[in-house]
């Protein structure tokens, strides 16, 4: 009898623990892992955005989704990651518009040099119905545009000389993003544009494959480019938007409510990233000077603007002028 009772008890405990384990397993299974990739380091403005995305999505979904960040180009460059979204090997990507025009040509308009005058204007246009329209266009190209985020105004760095005029840029081998509008602008400037994926850039600068590159202050700081570049010129020659993109292969399978959580998480991510860009903009220049870069702050941008002007005609010949005009009009009223 005693033995029987013990057996029954053991069986009950055994049964309970099996039950408990299967409940736990069910919970683990219910939490769906979402991968998020970007090219910048974990001290960057994209990492700040990734954290906000993770916190917001995990909170809104009450833990049903967990986000794993893959920074520093661990999943490849931005072009590769965008391809990854289309085939479902990554779920969320924070990327500049650098290679995006190769997939969604409608976004090339945003890459025109000197399109926006300042951060407020760029943010105002991207947050308007025009920004929404461009986000929606992405669905036609197997991408889900979730929110406009920010990379920042791009400035030129190089190892040859202090650049203060277009003449100084003549002949410089400048790494550009894999973006035809940017490449054209640098050709017009008289430089030799060399498109390259971001994860290859540090080594290319170190080995002298290229003389220079251009990126926002936040990127120059977060990637330690001051270690391999001597001169910084605050040209602010183009505003570099970033965008939070999702894989339709994930998002199309979700409920409306779930999809809205992803959108909200993307908006929170963009807001946090923009705040970090603003914070680092001035602080970053001082830091780069401290680290030994010579910084040209007082740059007359009019001759640069004039030099790259033909890029606009080349752009409109290929892509039309309608969206450009609407953006310029909107920017004027921002
Ligand atoms: O989006 O490729 C670049 O220069 C970008 O600015 C960088 O990957 C961050």
Cα 39 to ligand 1 centroid, rounded to whole Å:
7
Kindly report, residue by residue over 92-118, the tens digit of the pLDDT: 999 999 999 999 999 999 999 999 999
Question: Is the full-model pTM beyond 0.75?
Answer: yes
Cα 180 to ligand 1 centroid, rounded to whole Å:
15
Please give the full DSSP string across 65-115, using - where no structure is assigned: EEEEEE-TTTT--HHHHHHHHHHTS-SEEEEESTTGGGT-GGGGGGGSTT-
Q: What is the pLDDT of residue 22?
A: 53
Q: Average the pLDDT over 235-240 and give the result.
A: 98
Q: Is the pLDDT of residue 161 over 60?
A: yes
Q: Which of 47, 82, 155, 219 to mutate to test the pocket of ligand 1 (most atoms within 8 A of CB)?
A: 219
Q: What is the pLDDT of residue 2?
A: 43
Q: What is the pLDDT of residue 131?
A: 98
Of 304, 96, 324, give the one whose Cα is nearest residue 185: 304
Q: Which of 47, 48, 97, 177 to mutate to test the pocket of ligand 1 (most atoms within 8 A of CB)?
A: 177
Helix (H) or strand (E) holding 195, with range, is strand 192-195
Kindly report, residue by residue over 25-57, the tens digit of the pLDDT: 555 557 999 999 999 999 999 999 999 999 999
**Structure tokens given for 4:** 């029987």
Cα 278 to ligand 1 centroid, rounded to whole Å:
17
Q: Which of 48, 210, 240, 243 to mutate to test the pocket of ligand 1 (most atoms within 8 A of CB)?
A: 240
Residues flanking ligand 1, CB < 6 Å: 39-40, 78, 95-96, 98, 151, 177, 198, 215, 219, 240
Question: Contact at 8 Å (CB) between 158 and 231?
Answer: yes
Question: Phi/psi of residue 189, each to 5°?
Answer: -75, -10
Q: Is the pLDDT of residue 231 over 80?
A: yes
Cα 242 to ligand 1 centroid, rounded to whole Å:
9
Of 276, 303, 285, 311, give the one whose Cα is nearest residue 119: 276
Question: Contact at 8 Å (CB) between 160 and 181?
Answer: no
Which residue owns the Cα nearest ligand 1 atom 1?
96
Cα 58 to ligand 1 centroid, rounded to whole Å:
27
Which residue owns the Cα nearest ligand 1 atom 3?
198
Domains, the chain, in order of start with CATH, read: 32-333 (3.40.190.170)
């Amino acid at each position: 009898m005693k033995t029987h009772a013990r057996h029954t008890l053991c069986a009950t405990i055994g049964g309970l623990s099996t039950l408990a384990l299967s409940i736990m397993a069910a919970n683990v299974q219910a939490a769906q892992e979402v991968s998020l990739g970007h090219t910048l380091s974990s001290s960057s403005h994209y990492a700040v955005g990734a954290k906000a995305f993770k916190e917001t999505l995990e909170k809104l979904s009450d833990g049903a989704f967990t986000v794993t960040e893959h920074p520093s180009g661990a999943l490849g460059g931005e072009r590769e990651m965008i391809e990854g979204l289309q085939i479902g090997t990554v779920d969320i990507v924070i990327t500049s518009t650098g290679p995006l025009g190769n997939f969604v040509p409608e976004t090339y308009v945003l890459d025109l040099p000197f399109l926006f005058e300042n951060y407020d204007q760029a943010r105002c246009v991207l947050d308007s119905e025009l920004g929404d329209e461009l986000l929606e266009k992405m669905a036609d190209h197997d991408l889900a545009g979730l929110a406009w985020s920010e990379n920042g105004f791009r400035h030129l760095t190089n190892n040859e000389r202090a650049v203060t005029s277009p003449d100084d840029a003549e002949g410089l081998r400048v790494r550009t993003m894999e973006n035809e509008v940017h490449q054209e602008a640098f050709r017009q400037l008289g430089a030799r544009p060399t498109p390259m994926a971001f994860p290859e850039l540090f080594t290319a600068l170190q080995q002298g494959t290229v003389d220079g590159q251009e990126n926002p202050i936040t990127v120059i700081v977060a990637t330690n480019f001051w270690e391999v570049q001597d001169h910084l010129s605050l040209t602010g020659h183009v505003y570099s938007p970033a965008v939070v993109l999702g894989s339709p292969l994930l998002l199309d399978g979700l409920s409306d409510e779930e999809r809205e959580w992803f959108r909200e998480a993307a908006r929170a991510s963009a807001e946090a990233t923009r705040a970090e860009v603003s914070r680092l903009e001035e602080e970053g220049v001082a830091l780069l000077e401290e680290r030994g870069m010579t910084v040209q702050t007082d740059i007359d941008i009019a001759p640069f603007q004039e030099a790259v002007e033909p890029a606009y005609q080349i752009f409109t010949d290929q892509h039309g002028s309608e969206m450009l005009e609407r953006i310029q009009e909107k920017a004027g009223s921002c």
